[in-house]
Amino acid sequence: MDMKQLEAAADFVRERWPEARVDMAVVCGSGWSSVLDAVEVVDRISYAEIPGLGAPGVVGHTGTLCHVRHAGRDVLVFQGRRHFYEGEGWTPVAVPVFLCLKFGVKELLLTNSAGAIHPDFAPGDLMILTDHINQMGDNPLVGPHHPVFGPRFPDQSTVYAPEAVARLRAAAKQADVRVQEGVYLATRGPVYETPAEVRACRLLGADAVGMSTVPEAMLASAAGIRTGGLSCMTNYAAGILDQPLTHDEVTTTASAAMPRMTALLLAWISGFGFE
Ligand code: HPA
């Protein structure tokens, strides 16, 4: 992580939005950005303009940072994310979390699309992350220690804060959206898994598999931000059905689940508060 770039990103956004007072944030993974159709967008900044962030190279990831207002809350919405597999290191992945820190965000929700592994899960299901397994072979905290991201050896017992999980459950109930709960396993990508790898993921204890979220969750939780995670199952993980996986399938299934994803996100924003 290049701390100078992270600081430059924060200075840039703060200069553009000197008045913004946000205490919550959402990172929208594949298919999750539609929430923006239902809220007031106060202003937008293209990722391409933000030092260290840059435009995402993935279809379905727009790359716009939005200052959003909904139900009396001011929210940072990261429409699209940078992935480690894009090959530009950890800085673009870390910028959103660092911006959250600098804006004083108290609660961050990380969303993604994932392949369903748990036998009771099906495409279209939404899952609250209760824990994760890092199979990326790397993590953003490797390297010099930066105390802004917590201690040298951050505890990982509750990366997804129990309060964040509880808030997501409550939001799902309020929005009348059925949700699963489970463990998300992150690979480095960009390849999907082989059927044998999916069987191995299941043996390891994973309920869903994807290529993101874990790095941001590590950084944010280590930095003391209450962190929650939500996955949309966009496909059965490889080998469960006798058919290949495509990114088209991922985006099509996410579009079909969009009304439920939006309802859940809006309920989550409306219910924000520290008890
Ligand atoms: N594997 C990895 N990443 C994914 C998948 C998957 O099956 N679906 C959506 N993102």
User: Which of 83, 202, 211 to probe ligand 1 with, by most ligand atoms within 8 A of CB?
Assistant: 211
Specify the pLDDT at position 62: 80
Distance 76 CA to ligand 1 centre (A): 26
Report d(CA 208, CA 60) in Å as an integer: 20
Residue 30 in any domain: the answer is yes
- Bigger pLDDT: 160 vs 246: 160
245 lines ligand 1 (CB under 6 A): yes
Instruction: Determine contact, residues 6/96, Cβ cutoff 8 Å.
Output: no
On whether residue 149 sits in a domain, the answer given is: no
In a domain, 39, yes or no: yes
Residue-wise pLDDT tens digits, 203-255: 999 999 999 999 999 999 999 999 999 999 999 999 999 888 888 888 888 88
**Domain annotation covers residue 86:** yes
- The whole domain housing 181 covers 3-139+154-269
- Whether 147 maps to a domain, the answer reads no
Residue 159 structure tokens = 């990366």
Q: How far is the CA of 113 from the centre of ligand 1 (A)?
A: 7
- Ligand 1 atom with the shortest distance to the CA of 237: 7
Residue 148 lies in a domain: no
Convert the pLDDT of each residue in 166-212 to its tens digit.
999 999 999 999 999 999 999 999 999 999 999 999 999 999 999 99
Number of domains the chain contains: 1
Identify which has the larger pLDDT, 27 or 30.
27
- pLDDT of 31 above 90: no
pLDDT for 60 equals 62
Q: Which CATH number does the domain housing residue 86 bear?
A: 3.40.50.1580
Rg, the chain, Cα only? 17
Give domain status of residue 274, yes or no.
no
Q: State whether the beta carbon of 116 lies less than 6 angstroms from ligand 1.
A: no
Q: What is the pLDDT of residues 40-78, one digit of tens each?
A: 999 999 999 999 999 887 776 689 999 999 989 999 999
Does 113 sit in the ligand 1 pocket, CB within 6 Å?
yes
pLDDT of 160 higher than 90: yes
**Predicted model pTM:** 0.96
In a domain, 227, yes or no: yes
